[in-house]
Amino acid sequence: MFALKPSLVQTKIYENGSRKALGGKKNARFFAKASIENDDVKVVVYSAHEYERKYLTESVLNVFGGSRSKLVTARLTEETVDLSIGCNVACCFVNDDLSESVLKRLRENGVEAIMLRCAGFDRVCVETAKELGIEVYRVPRYDPESISDMAIALIMALNRKIVISHDRVKVGNFMLDGLVGFRMRGKTIGILGTGKIGRGLSQAMVHGFGMRCLGYDKYPDKEGFAGTYVDTIDELIEQSDVISLHLPLNEETKHVINENTIKKMKKGAMLINTSRGGLLNIKEVILGLRNGSIGSLGIDVYETEEKIFAIDFSKLTIEEKMIYWDDTFAQLSSLPQVIVTPHQAFLTHDALEEISKTTKENIEAFAKRDVANGSQNGNRIC
């Protein structure tokens, strides 16, 4: 009924694709093979968006497998997995499904390696990949300043009510009521997670805006961090006027912002998340926004974003939209003190060039069976 479903071509491949059952532990033995030529590497690129096609074509399609490699706009799911038949490498993006069941199907189809075009791998069942003998690579670093820049953009847009002001002017309302912001200089920003993105943000906020900066990280790296580390998350939250999240998503960090942490925030504090949607218990965050505990929220990620991000809903009716938009997202996006962007923080020409370059290098490492180099540079997960 809707354009969101797999196309007829995809469905036909799914229905007619033949598969051979392969035992997981036996599969690991194929890594004893010698290196293979680039022409023998056949890549299926899932979630291939229009904005990255030029980069992927130059770095992947023109280098590996010739006409047998392909770009697929569909996200990798159980319904689209058989588009990988005939390929030995699957190149995937941040919201592709790499759960146990999908990985098994990929391996049955002949896929020997996964190339992630992102840093995070929380959607990959790593243990299953190991059992099946599937190599998994990622892009651990790509223009981290792009993401810290986006965090700054969200902070400024929320503080100075840029979106509200812009919308008013478009309809002829030039009133200033309700547009009052605050001076950044002298305020405190708390940065949860001080990897390259968090450290870059600290430099900009301290040296560019004159803010006081606090940081928390399980493994603090003082080199390049422009602020002061605190010992606990609670200590950071209690003192911060702005809180920006730059943590990986795992069992320890899931819903790190919840009812209990919200109670400890300064009343009216600003919350920014350009990392992973699952860091927020979004229902409890919405309650905090409604009662004023949280003053404003800027997010570039959402916990179940794979259902809605990178999809154009503009031509659907309200009823059709609600099939995919859960009630929680509908509530969130209706709040005036909230800005939601569709996981675009990374999206710069510089980052796309770095991602495609590293992806090419990862595929070459797989083709050469260069396991040691892939592990040393942090690109190879398993």
Q: Is residue 382 part of a domain?
A: no
Q: Are residues 126 and 181 in the same domain?
A: no
Residues 295, 337: Cα–Cα separation, whole Å: 7
Q: What's the total number of domains in the chain?
A: 2
Claim to verify: residue 39 and residue 136 sit in the same structural domain: yes
Q: Measured between alpha carbons, how far is residue 157 from residues 208, 265, 297, 347 in Å?
A: 16, 21, 11, 18
Are residue 215 and residue 87 in the same domain, yes or no?
A: no
Do 148 and 86 sit in the same domain of this protein? no
Q: What digits encode the pLDDT tens for the residues 41-55?
A: 999 999 999 999 999
CA distance 183 to 162: 15
Position 375 scores a pLDDT of: 55
194 assigned to some structural domain = yes
What pLDDT shows up at residue 312? 87
Instruction: Report CA torsion sign: 322, 327, 330, 333.
Output: negative
Query: Does residue 3 lie in a domain region?
Result: no
148 falls within a domain:
yes
Query: Is there a single domain that holds both residue 127 and residue 226?
Result: no
Number of other CB atoms surrounding residue 163 within 10 Å? 13
Contact 45, 71 (CB under 8 A): yes
Strands 188-192 and 242-245 turn out to be parallel
Residue 1 lies in a domain: no
Q: Does one domain contain both 182 and 274?
A: yes
Q: Where are the beta strands (DSSP E) in the chain?
A: 43-45, 70-71, 89-92, 113-116, 135-137, 188-192, 212-216, 228-229, 242-245, 269-273, 294-299, 338-340
The pLDDT, as a whole number, for residue 310 is 86
Sheet of 212-216, strand order? 228-229, 212-216, 188-192, 242-245, 269-273, 294-299, 338-340
Residues of the domain holding 219: 144-340
Distances (CA, A) of 11 to 156, 311, 345: 45, 19, 33
In terms of domains, do 322 and 364 share one?
no
**What residues pair up with 204 in beta bridges, in sequence order?**
none
Please tell me whether residues 210 and 241 are part of one structural domain.
yes
Q: Are residues 72 and 87 in the same domain?
A: yes
Residue 123 sits in a domain of what CATH number?
3.40.50.720
What does the pLDDT profile of the chain (382 residues) look like in tens digits?
A: 333 333 323 333 332 233 333 444 434 433 444 566 777 899 999 999 999 999 999 999 888 977 778 999 999 999 999 999 999 999 999 999 999 999 999 999 999 999 999 988 989 999 999 999 999 999 988 888 999 999 999 999 999 999 999 999 999 999 999 999 999 999 999 999 999 999 999 999 999 999 999 999 999 887 899 999 999 999 999 999 999 999 999 999 999 999 999 999 999 999 999 999 999 999 999 999 999 999 999 999 999 998 889 888 888 888 888 777 788 998 999 999 999 999 999 999 999 999 999 999 999 999 987 655 555 567 999 9
Same domain, 313 and 328: yes
Question: For residue range 207-239, what is the model confidence (pLDDT) as tens digits?
Answer: 999 999 999 999 988 789 999 999 999 999 999
Give the residue numbers marked as catalytic. 276, 305, 343
